[in-house]
Structure 1
Amino acid sequence: MKFLEKEIKAPEARKIEAKLEIHNDVRIDPYFWLNDRENPEVIDYLKSENEYNEEMTAHTKDFQERLFEEMKSRIKEDDESVPYKLNGYWYITRYEKGKDYPVYSRKKDTLNAPEEVLFDVNEMAEGFDYYSLGGINVSPDNKLAAFAVDNVSRRKYTIRIKNLETGELLPEKIETTTGGSTWANDNKTLFYTRKDEKTLRSDTIFKHTLATPVEEDEVVYHEEDETFNTYVYKSKSRKYIIIGSSSTLTCEYRFLEADKPNGEFRIVQPRIRGLEYTISHYENSFYILTNKDDATNFKLMKTPVVTPDAENWTDVIPHRKDVLLEDIDIFRKYLVVSERSNGLNQIKVMAWDGSNSYFIPFDNETYTAFTGTNPDFDTEILRYTYNSMTTPTSIVDFNMDTKEKVVKKEQEVLGEDFNKNNYVSERIWATAEDGTKIPMSMVHRKDLRRDGTNPVLQYAYGSYGSTIDPYFSTVRLSLLDRGFIFVLAHVRGGEYLGRQWYENGKLLKKKNTFTDFIDCSRHLIDHNYTSPSHLYASGGSAGGLLMGAIANMAPQLYKGIIASVPFVDVVTTMLDETIPLTTGEYDEWGNPNEKEYYEYIKSYSPYDNVVAQDYPNMLITTGLHDSQVQYWEPAKWVAKLRGLKTDNNKLLFHINMDAGHGGASGRFEALKEVAEEYAFLLDLEEIAD
């Protein structure tokens, strides 16, 4: 088989030199032409890469199918969510056996009432290669539901309205939206957010009145600053319509009484660069989670609704250096605070009257706990979700009055006899080149020997302050049961160890993300978990940038790398303001129109740093319609790698010609993509069973 593979010729993209000049620096980009998706030659090249991938993986197709069936067999196919109550109805999402998409339904007053099907997405998705239904939003009188559909995977949603009493669709079709919408309390006024047709920036809030032409919808807010996005929602108290506007570093909110949709929105606190805040309404105050007064890890403040600007904000929970305040949830009797200490989630319950304050206890070295769907303001029940790398997800209803827990649902792992006691999870720490301790969460079978021969899949994201907590995965069992160790590296750029952890992995400190990951890999090798011939790395989107960086910086450490929808042409993208997301990302990566940022970004951008050297085996995936990371970034990267790499290792590129950034839309189609990735890893380990 190895001999046959060498006979299959890899595609070669034509070189057409494009000169890209800024700051008296010229970059020659021979594959710039690949960014024209209307060019038939571009489509032909992408198809040739898909054909090459098919041929190179033909010998694993049966194995991929077995892996797919194995993963699918663990999933409860006829599953349903734990019902939640809102405004007199219980809402349920369920899946039927063999079906790809959910059914959304509700029951009036009690769970014994007859089911009303709101949306059967299986029927709605018929005839479409891709179908995403989102933004379901029921009117206060329970008679209408706004919902949104994207059937291209560009995250451009069309909002429709359904009469829930007759099943009819109203004539309104509101296009190019984010999908989200909010009803005023009059049941006839709908606020929604439109996107810019080209950049897909969510920039304008409109107000629609039922039975009037969409063309006459009124603009209630337009966000002029291209680095900001805007959105609209209703407070949990249902008293206010709130418009938020935010960039990476700065926020601003406006509010309007939901009973008076034709009134004027009032501003809470005008934007100040670097001031972040969110608002939650309770009685006569807004509760404000903010970084005001150098509160790096955030603090909780409050302000009167009548005079909400920052000079009237007062502390409720002060800033703490070692605790990151992540979120709050407000109930009539309780304030619930989600915080993070030493990397671990904590949920604190505080009675408004001061009579009671306590943490919900959790036990595990590495776990994830977060508040769930809690739309009911008047309840004493807090719903939260708990899992760990060895413990399937459970959804718990916690009585804040009595402290009693009721497990409403525990994720079932079907198929072969799953026993969580066969696996062990732990947290270990690597030392970065600057002396910083970098945590890793890992899981493996208990019977594993640490002799340096174990295959390891090391995963990370490491951008935007997004924290990937240790989590349970049924599909991952297909690797663990074949001897793999799975490692989640909590590199800087996320917020695992607080806000400063994020600050130290962005802008002119971005390279910390990459060197942290590499130092974690070295720790795993030095401490006999694995060796370079058995170490694999994986990441997607901004985590795909991380994969591109480590491939250039430390290719000798890895047997294989999987990069999903990778952001790899950072300089060119960040200089192109017509591309979705670019202007809103300057506070994350820096603005390369400024020379200092240009030179720093260019020094790590994966595409700009491909050189003639040996690279690991690589599987790279993308979607033709991706609006977050354009398909041409990985396409150009693959073409450049093919032209320069000096090894005979595999370089496979799979382009989903129907999907975008999130991959396939059906739950089983998405599993096929995982099976393809796992087969790639297991094939390199010469495991075919």
Structure 2
Amino acid sequence: MTTETTPPVANRVPSERTHHGDTLVDEYAWLTAKDDPATIAHLTAENAYTEARTEHLAGLRTELYEEIRRRTRETDLTVPARKGDWWYYTRTVEGQQYGVHCRRAVRDGETEPPVSADGAPLDGEEVLLDGNLLAEGHEFFALGAFDVSPDGRWLAYSTDFSGDERFTLRVKDLGTGELRPDEVPDTFYGTAWSADASVLFYVTVDEAWRPNRVWRHTLGTASTEDVVVHQEDDERFWVGVELTRSERFVLIDVHSKITSEVLVIPAGNPTGAPASVAPRRQGVEYTVEHHGHRFLILHNDGAEDFALAYTSADAPGDWVPLIDHSPGTRLEAVDAFADHLVVSLRVNGLTGLRVLPVGGGDAYDIDFPEPLYSVGLGSNPEYRTGQIRLGYTSLVTPDSVYDYDLVTRQMVLRRQKPVLPGPDGRPYDPAGYEQHRDWALADDGTRVPISLVCRAGTPRDGSAPCVIYGYGSYEASMDPWFSVARLSLLDRGVVFAVAHVRGGGELGRRWYDQGKLLAKKNTFTDFVACARHLVKAGWTAPDRLVARGASAGGLLMGAVANIAPDAFAGIVAQVPFVDALTSMLDPTLPLTVTEWEEWGNPLDDPEVYAYMKSYTPYENVRAVDYPAILAVTSLNDTRVLYHEPAKWIARLREIAPSGDYLLKTEMGAGHGGPSGRYDAWREEAFVNAWMLDRLGRA
């Protein structure tokens, strides 16, 4: 019998599957039946148990939530970005969950973006879309597309009210404010307008939730008359669509994890057949940006960390080198403007921007002052411009928006996200905090970077509590970022660390390759090495260390729980990919086939099967003393299905019953959790309160 003060017991209903002569027994496969009342009853019981077990933290949760809210300027306005004759921006209003998307006409002689000191509406603004009105009556709300036509007349936007990332696409007349009859259900991210705004391209998914079709919709016609422009039948590949900044071409990106192809359609001839810039070749990735008479090609053909080339836009052919490959300098993107190119890159674990003047002159890198930071291009919709907008942040510097003059090389701070006074009433002072770069030594001798932030003067005697965060997949880099919610931890003496483990992209493509497929275990052992290093270096102690990760980072959390349960006092696994082997064995599940080039194909390859079985968390739960574990998931998640953590927690309770395991399921959300900002703050306060409790700082 289950009560709210005793852990729910999931019924054991063993099912068996045999692969490569090996039998997998799954006692909790019945939890995959999302529509079964028994499944919903079990998740509801888990939520009630979690609430009861954390009831003593209710006051702290409220306190942390109020600290986030108090430090945040709730009525605020982004820095307007110019596109044609309009300034576009988003406002937030105190008490409202979602942003209000607006624009204001550019006035005669106006070259600087307009400002609003108190976040109030700009004089003369037009409200394009109010997320709060759209969300009324819905527990969840998310925007997919938000795409204004080149002439500024139409807005294509799409909405999701369940969290499953299946959107309904609509078109709004910005002149009258009325919705057009054009409406397309079950679309995916990505849209592109034709040059004359008579045609809208969009994307749909197949039954496995793989974006596989690009469609052409002519305004004023029924969606049943829409035409498939490209259909991708190779299940390893997914598709996307966008309009180039120059507004000259519609790009159809066809990409697997390791191979790509780009098709182009002249935006002035939207009914034309898409043409390939370069046919796909296994293992060769490239992206395309249009610039004048040429297509810029960022590629890895014989260039592990990528090189930049170009080819004719009129008759694509051979690639002419523009920036040669330089090992250790990972080129990540190229943005073209009329007179300059801007390359986004990373060196030694830090992001950077390199400017290439088109009409002559040497390329140069933009300098930034801090030892740890993240920088990247912001909203830059204008092709003919002499300045770029960039975003900058660090572990101690709030999100900052700069305009950078490409000719004078002068940088102007347009806005730094306000951090209002905290509970002590004092304004935020970055000098009150320290950020550090440290290095751990992995088992194979590899040096693994760690980024840390703490209150100034935090002792290095092992007495401080610490949270260590990790991800380590898909070449995604966990670059330093600022967090208002994190201040509540730092001010309670907590050290926050990010382990830049292999599988991410912090140190280039090789760093990624050394943490995927049959080298995936490096991700897990790197993280454990980072945790051990923090203890050895005096930052913390095992009984004062909590690990946190989400999605593929949740896989990391489950793996390190099995590998080194003694290294942590607690583990937070959010939307965790903890049943990876079972998912990768089922090609009917969302994303499975496209993911085989990341994890391997255990269905056809016995070596991959054995390797994955040796590390996937669900299969490797042991009868040991685990640290306390909090798993957080969402019922409508299409990326990591809710039943993975539900099954994992059930198996932990069965095999290692002495542990403290909690499961919290958002019953009306998707992969990103609650959609409204206040709800997201409450969720973060919940997790932070649990971590502080494990760290002895509740």
Normalization by structure 2: what TM-score? 0.96
SS in 2 for 1:170: strand
Alignment of 1:375-390 (within 5 A): 375-390=381-396
Q: How far has the Cα of 1:532 moved from its partner? A: 0.9
Q: Which deviations, in whole Å up to 9, do the C-alpha atoms of 1:558-608 show, x marking residues without a partner?
A: 000000000011111001111111111011000001111111011000000
Q: Is it true that 1:348 corresponds to 2:345 in the alignment?
A: no
**2:4 touches 2:45 (CA, 8 Å); kept in 1?**
no
Q: Pick the aligned partner of 1:414 from 416, 420, 423.
A: 420
Q: Pick the aligned partner of 1:358 from 354, 364, 389.
A: 364
Q: How far has the Cα of 1:141 moved from its partner? A: 2.1
Cα distance in 2, alignment partners of residues 227 and 387 from structure 1? 35
- Choose 499-508 or 330-339, whichever is displaced more: 330-339
Cα distance in 1, alignment partners of residues 63 and 141 from structure 2? 26
Cα distance in 2, alignment partners of residues 188 and 194 from structure 1? 20
**1:148 touches 1:180 (CA, 8 Å); kept in 2?**
no
Cα distance in 2, alignment partners of residues 372 and 276 from structure 1? 24
Q: How far has the Cα of 1:296 moved from its partner? A: 0.4
**1:368 touches 1:471 (CA, 8 Å); kept in 2?**
yes
Cα distance in 1, alignment partners of residues 196 and 363 from structure 2? 38
Cα distance in 1, alignment partners of residues 370 and 177 from structure 2? 48
**2:144 touches 2:188 (CA, 8 Å); kept in 1?**
no
Alignment of 1:637-652 (within 5 A): 637-647=648-658, 649-652=659-662
Q: Which deviations, in whole Å up to 9, do the C-alpha atoms of 1:610-653 show, x marking residues without a partner?
A: 01111001110000000000001000000000101153x42111
SS in 2 for 1:677: helix
Cα distance in 1, alignment partners of residues 669 and 462 from structure 2? 39
SS in 1 for 2:529: helix
Q: How far has the Cα of 1:186 moved from its partner? A: 2.3
Which residue does the alignment assign to 1:77?
Answer: 74
Q: How far has the Cα of 1:684 moved from its partner? A: 2.0
Which residue does the alignment assign to 1:120?
Answer: 130
Q: How far has the Cα of 1:138 moved from its partner? A: 1.2
Cα distance in 2, alignment partners of residues 365 and 320 from structure 1? 22
Which residue does the alignment assign to 1:449?
Answer: 459
Q: How far has the Cα of 1:681 moved from its partner? A: 1.2
Alignment of 1:292-371 (within 5 A): 292-293=301-302, 295-309=303-317, 312-371=318-377
Q: How far has the Cα of 1:6 moved from its partner? A: 12
Cα distance in 2, alignment partners of residues 560 and 57 from structure 1? 14
Which residue does the alignment assign to 2:471?
Answer: 461
Q: Which amino acid counterpart does residue 11 of structure 1 have in structure 2?
A: P
Which residue does the alignment assign to 2:84?
Answer: 87
Q: Pick the aligned partner of 1:624 from 592, 613, 635.
A: 635
SS in 2 for 1:172: strand
Cα distance in 2, alignment partners of residues 106 and 542 from structure 1? 37
Q: Is it true that 1:558 corresponds to 2:564 in the alignment?
A: no
Q: Alignment length, in residue pairs?
A: 679
Which residue does the alignment assign to 1:251?
Answer: 260
Which residue does the alignment assign to 1:277?
Answer: 286
Which residue does the alignment assign to 2:59?
Answer: 62
**1:159 touches 1:179 (CA, 8 Å); kept in 2?**
no
Q: Pick the aligned partner of 1:495 from 505, 514, 536.
A: 505
Alignment of 1:160-171 (within 5 A): 160-171=170-181
- Choose 395-404 or 134-143, whichever is displaced more: 134-143
Q: How far has the Cα of 1:457 moved from its partner? A: 0.2
Q: Which amino acid counterpart does residue 305 of structure 1 have in structure 2?
A: A
Which residue does the alignment assign to 1:139?
Answer: 149
Cα distance in 2, alignment partners of residues 19 and 340 from structure 1? 46
Q: Is it true that 1:590 corresponds to 2:590 in the alignment?
A: no
Q: How far has the Cα of 1:140 moved from its partner? A: 2.1
Which residue does the alignment assign to 2:33?
Answer: 36
Q: How far has the Cα of 1:179 moved from its partner? A: 3.5
Which residue does the alignment assign to 1:577?
Answer: 587
Cα distance in 1, alignment partners of residues 143 and 597 from structure 2? 31
Cα distance in 1, alignment partners of residues 576 and 185 from structure 2? 28
Alignment of 1:178-257 (within 5 A): 178-196=188-206, 198-257=207-266
SS in 1 for 2:512: helix
Q: Is it true that 1:517 corresponds to 2:524 in the alignment?
A: no
- Choose 475-484 or 649-658, whichever is displaced more: 649-658
Q: How far has the Cα of 1:687 moved from its partner? A: 2.4
Flag structure 2 segments of 5+ consecutive residues without an equivalent. 108-113, 115-121
Cα distance in 2, alignment partners of residues 51 and 577 from structure 1? 34
Q: Which amino acid counterpart does residue 548 of structure 1 have in structure 2?
A: G
Q: Pick the aligned partner of 1:507 from 498, 504, 517.
A: 517
Q: Which amino acid counterpart does residue 644 of structure 2 have in structure 1?
A: E
Which residue does the alignment assign to 2:447?
Answer: 437
Task: Kindly report structure 1 stretches of 4+ aligned residues shifted beyond 6 Å.
Answer: none
Q: Which deviations, in whole Å up to 9, do the C-alpha atoms of 1:137-185 show, x marking residues without a partner?
A: 1122211111000001001011001111111111122111113211101
Q: Which deviations, in whole Å up to 9, do the C-alpha atoms of 1:177-224 show, x marking residues without a partner?
A: 11321110122111110111x311110111111111111111111000
Cα distance in 1, alignment partners of residues 619 and 513 from structure 2? 24
Q: Pick the aligned partner of 2:483 from 470, 473, 481.
A: 473
**1:544 touches 1:564 (CA, 8 Å); kept in 2?**
yes
SS in 2 for 1:190: strand
Flag structure 1 segments of 5+ consecutive residues without an equivalent. none
Cα distance in 2, alignment partners of residues 146 and 359 from structure 1? 36
Cα distance in 2, alignment partners of residues 216 and 194 from structure 1? 15
Distance change in 2, residues 1:144/1:14 (3 Å):
same
Cα distance in 2, alignment partners of residues 428 and 687 from structure 1? 25
RMSD across aligned C-alpha pairs, in angstroms?
A: 1.3
SS in 2 for 1:43: helix
Cα distance in 2, alignment partners of residues 411 and 383 from structure 1? 15
**1:615 touches 1:646 (CA, 8 Å); kept in 2?**
no
Cα distance in 1, alignment partners of residues 331 and 362 from structure 2? 20
Q: Which amino acid counterpart does residue 630 of structure 1 have in structure 2?
A: L
Q: How far has the Cα of 1:231 moved from its partner? A: 1.0
**2:150 touches 2:247 (CA, 8 Å); kept in 1?**
no
SS in 1 for 2:128: strand
**1:147 touches 1:179 (CA, 8 Å); kept in 2?**
no
Normalization by structure 1: what TM-score? 0.97
